[in-house]
Structure 1
Amino acid sequence: MSRRHCAAAAITLVCALGLLTVPAQAMAAPVPDPAPPASVSSPAARPSPSSDADLEKVREQIETLYRKAGAATDAYNLAEEQTKKQSGEIVKLAKAIVDNQARIAELKDRAGAQAREQYRNGGLPPGAQLVLSDDPKLFLDGINKVRQSQQANKTVLADLNRAQEDLETYTKDASTNWQKLETNRLKQAKAKKKINARIAEAKKLESRLEKKERDRLRQLELEAANRAQSAWLASRPVPGVADVSGATTEAGKAAVAFATAQIGKPYVWGATGPGSYDCSGLTSQAWAAAGRPIPRTSQEQWRLLPRIDVRDMRPGDLIIYHADASHVGMYVGDGAIVHSPRPGRNVTLAGAGSMKILGVVRPDMP
């Protein structure tokens, strides 16, 4: 890359940094959207359900839609974190480019000053005339000055070459990060569109129900959760649930205290408080408040945090749900979790086994 092209690219990048103040629109690739169940028909074409069997089908359809929205939300959140990171990298690279341009200008000035000095001395470096002297002392002084001048010239040229190479590298890296940033923004926009579509579809299904049917639907949700919780408790090696709160660390206690203090606040996708949370927004903020920052999304929490056996979990541990790790809750002891369920619901306590458990992770594993 020529120096002129390098500098032009740097100026273009610095000007483009103003765009970083625009809210992010994209991020990590959304989870592929599975085909809708064959039983799901258009809400407008479905008659209002009149029996528990019909309502149960509606409940399952709504749950499926919110599950899809949850998976897309996790993709959106991960993409947002990556976009923030890339934006920060671009800012750092832009500063490095500007600094290097100033460094190159300074080195060119020094090289120019050395060239002018040699020109004034008839093309000879400082001290060269003394080398021609018959005085031994002046001769030795001249030798030293010539050597110093040569070394200074070499140092300036080496620094100049290194600074120009760094400038080209910084410009290339910044261009690569900018392309990634734009790609992630497009992905995030698609995830956002998918989230809104699933939530709107679920709300439309619920809106067609009469009040008594919506009340009954809520009751069916609770009954399904209770059945799952009972089955989970029955499958455990030891009847009941052992509360090992005595083994909980101070950080774990602080995380539980923060999470339970948010009970009653609404679910909002992408939210990290203080007035609302999505599922991983709640758990990540709880552990941040405990002094242990963890990944933002449930999928990254599952991928990066130490895993433990379900039988060994203690308050503060995070339970990851569903095969795609799209939901997370915090274990609080006595077989319960605190979590932010979905749109239309608030942060609440629930049975730890009320959803399909994928596994358990421990943020404060030594």
Structure 2
Amino acid sequence: MTTKKSKTRDLMRGLRTPAKPADPDAYTVDRGPLPRTVPRKPAEKGATATAGGPEPREFPRGVNKLGPSERFGLSIPGAGRLLMCKLKLLDPDFTDPAPENPRAQALLREDDPDIQALVASFEEQGQQQPALADRNPDTGRWEVIYGTRRRFAASIVDARRREEGGFPLIAWVPEEPGVLTPADRQTLAISENEDRTDLSSWEKGQLVAKLTEEGTLTDTAIAKLLRLSRNKLGGYRAMSEIPAEIVERLESPRLLTARGAERLAKLASEAGNYDTLLQRLPKAPERFASMPELLAAASPKKVEKGGLKTRGKQEIKAADGTTRFAVGRVRGAPGRLKIDAYGLDDDGIEAVLNALEKLAK
């Protein structure tokens, strides 16, 4: 039986060299043609780096702490071979998340408590664990296979320290360019994130849905790759249907639990769709510190029993406090009610009519 410790020893197996690297460029930044602000485009075959554009910065070794080894033998799960890597200090501006990385980059925010803790650690202790990056042969930029949270945190610290020379991203890079296949990159990205338990359940759900849609792996193979029991794949697929716009309303995507996802799905089914739940939530950028808070805001507002008798009129308010409906009795007409609706769009009107039609049946 393979234990986590034995696996760690296997991953760390490789060549160790003296403190001074054999490659004099091991701690400099490789050249890249495009700044991060320029949209990435696939380069034409044979295209070369753009001349005259901004170039990556070079960092001295002491600007960020490095690990005890300058070379590393990385075991590729399932491939039966060792990938020899060396350390590089990369300019964060010239890095991109690799397309194989399963993390939802849109959910990385500077105000996320987990990101804030990582940034504080970088500022106090430096980056302790290198990321893994591979160079895109078309653009010349580095693609981060795993460690995109570290990339994001390094970018924040780098921006704060620009006047002091900046802050690089420490990454392992293959000694031999072009040796990693897309399958290798995907396996490494998934394996590392599983080892570190960094991925949220929602992100795992997105990954399960993506692998299912690609159709190259069976459910058994997907479960083995992600180290999940096969009977849990259905739950992750259901979780993947929750829109990112709802997940973004939580302070961290890891706050979305399996039970919370089930409750959200039930609310969406009762409301007709997830868009209705989004309309119930306060307008962004307000975020929720817990799943129960989000569920409470997404739940329909209850009308108090007997409200029409005691107050003569019942108002139903939205989460932001505005009145959406006012229900009152019609004088001189027992059993007859008057309903006033405010600020409804066409979809809202249709939803009201559908609800009344169901009530009539």
- As a proportion of its length, which structure holds more helix? 1
Whether these two folds match at TM > 0.5 is no
Structure of higher RCO (CA pairs closer than 8 Å, 6+ residues apart): 1
- As a proportion of its length, which structure holds more strand? 2
TM band (smaller chain) = under 0.3
Q: Provide TM-score, normalisation by structure 1.
A: 0.22
Q: Provide TM-score, normalisation by structure 2.
A: 0.22
